[in-house]
């Protein structure tokens, strides 16, 4: 149930209108940098620095062509897509299995396992990046997408496990017993009974991991230092800035290619974004 404090009384129209207008102005300024880059991606370089207006004179689609083909953003787009999709699958399967066992069973060593997990919550990524880089080199997977994907999936926030564990622990025992009566084993119970029940958590975890994998920067920038072919979009735009630093409109187009998919996803799946984010403080 939702609770609200309606300190703007419905009768008080003046207060209502003032607050609404204040928020509209605030929202416009807030979102302006994003609108600015979107509009810049359709402008000529000359026009970008010409004024504050957001509507381009004509839509310069060539910016996107230059970014996609010339600056290789097309390739980076698919790299990022592969890393994101595969790491989401890995993360959902592994943390789902982990959370299931932690949430429903007790076994020797469980407390130690949870303790180790919790202690890694606040380990900054910067702290582990150098050995990860070295590890991928030693395993000979630093020069292709496998290493980057695994490392992206491996730095899994503990919150995913806690979300799964919390959800699984609330599933009634009767369901499981019924499955046992039918002769379903451990794995079948998990796959056919339990997993379908957790669709909301799967959605939340998937979205959080998409957000993480798509937007990550430190890991891909380090791993791809010597391998431009496996760059992700974020790293690609960063390299773009270094290589063609006068092509503002092309860079704006490359930025839009990077951020638009996630913004669209967010607009359609907002509920799960919010649930995932709020899960961190509710727990």
Partner 1 sequence: MHKKPLSKQIYDARWCYLFVLPCSILTGMFVIYPIGMSWYFSLLDWSGFTKEAKFIGLQNYYEAVNDEFFWDAFIRSFIFMFGTVPVKIVLGFIIAVFLNNQVLKLAPFFRTVIFMPVVTAIAIIGIVMTFVFSPFNGPANKFLMSTNLTSAPIDFLGNPDTVLPTVMGVYVWKWLGITMMYWLAALQTVPQDVYDAAKIDGAEGYRLWIHIILPIVLPFAIVIILVEAVGALNVFPLIETMTAGGPFFSSEVMEIYIFRTAFVTDSGTMPRLGYACAAGVFWGVAVLFITVLQGLWMRRTRRI
CA atoms within 13 A on the CB side of 238: 15
Burial 225-260 (b: 16+ CB within 10 A, else e): eeeeebbbbbbbbbbbeeebeebbbbbbbbbbbbbe
DSSP helix/strand/coil, 273: helix
Q: What is the DSSP letter of 142?
A: S
Instruction: Return the residue of 144, 169, 192, 278 that touches partner 1, per CB under 8 A.
Output: 278
CB nearer to partner 1: pick between 74 and 154:
154
Is position 10 an interface residue for partner 1 (rule: CB under 8 A)? yes
Which range in 63-71, 153-161, 174-182, 194-202 contacts partner 1 by CB under 8 A? 153-161
Q: Least distance from C-beta 209 to partner 1, angstroms?
A: 13
Instruction: Return the residue of 89, 146, 171, 273 that touches partner 1, per CB under 8 A.
Output: 273
Stretch 202-261 residues interacting with partner 1 (CB under 8 A):
211, 214-215, 217-218, 221-222, 225, 233-235, 237-238, 241, 248, 251-252, 255, 258-259
Q: Least distance from C-beta 241 to partner 1, angstroms?
A: 6
CB nearer to partner 1: pick between 17 and 178:
17
Contact 273, 266 (CB under 8 A): yes
Instruction: Return the residue of 17, 34, 59, 178 that touches partner 1, per CB under 8 A.
Output: 34
How many Å apart are CA 30 and CA 25, to the nearest integer?
A: 9
Stretch 69-128 residues interacting with partner 1 (CB under 8 A):
90, 93-95, 97-98, 100-102, 105, 107-108, 110, 113, 116-117, 120, 122-128
| Burial (0-12, 13-18, 19+ Cβ within 10 Å), 265 | middle
Structure tokens at 109: 């060593």
How many Å apart are CA 151 and CA 160, to the nearest integer?
A: 16
Q: Least distance from C-beta 183 to partner 1, angstroms?
A: 15
Instruction: Return the residue of 134, 182, 229, 243 that touches partner 1, per CB under 8 A.
Output: 134
């Amino acid at each position: 149930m939702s609770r609200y404090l309606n300190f703007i009384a419905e009768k008080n129209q003046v207060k209502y209108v003032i607050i609404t207008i204040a928020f509209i102005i605030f929202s416009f300024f807030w979102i302006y940098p994003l609108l600015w880059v979107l509009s810049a991606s359709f402008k000529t370089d000359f026009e970008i620095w010409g004024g504050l207006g957001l509507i381009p004179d004509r839509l310069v689609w060539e910016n996107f062509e230059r970014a996609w083909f010339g600056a290789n953003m097309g390739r980076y787009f698919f790299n990022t897509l592969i890393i994101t999709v595969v790491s989401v699958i890995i993360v959902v399967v592994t943390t789902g299995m982990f959370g299931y066992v932690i949430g429903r069973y007790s076994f020797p060593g469980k407390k130690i396992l949870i303790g180790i997990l919790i202690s890694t919550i606040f380990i900054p990524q910067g702290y582990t990046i150098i050995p990860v880089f070295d590890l991928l080199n030693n395993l000979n997977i630093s020069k292709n997408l496998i290493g980057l994907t695994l490392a992206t999936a491996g730095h899994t926030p503990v919150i995913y496990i806690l979300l799964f564990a919390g959800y699984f622990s609330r599933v009634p025992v009767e369901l499981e017993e019924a499955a046992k009566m039918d002769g379903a084993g451990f794995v079948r119970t998990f796959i056919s009974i339990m997993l379908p029940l957790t669709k909301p958590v799967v959605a939340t975890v998937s979205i959080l991991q998409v957000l993480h994998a798509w937007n990550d920067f430190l890991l891909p920038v380090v791993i791809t230092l010597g391998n431009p072919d496996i760059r992700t979009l974020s790293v690609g735009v960063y390299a773009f800035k270094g290589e063609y630093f006068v092509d503002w409109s092309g860079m704006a187009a490359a930025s839009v290619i990077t951020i638009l998919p996630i913004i669209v996803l967010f607009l359609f799946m907002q509920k799960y974004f919010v649930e995932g984010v709020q899960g961190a403080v509710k727990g």
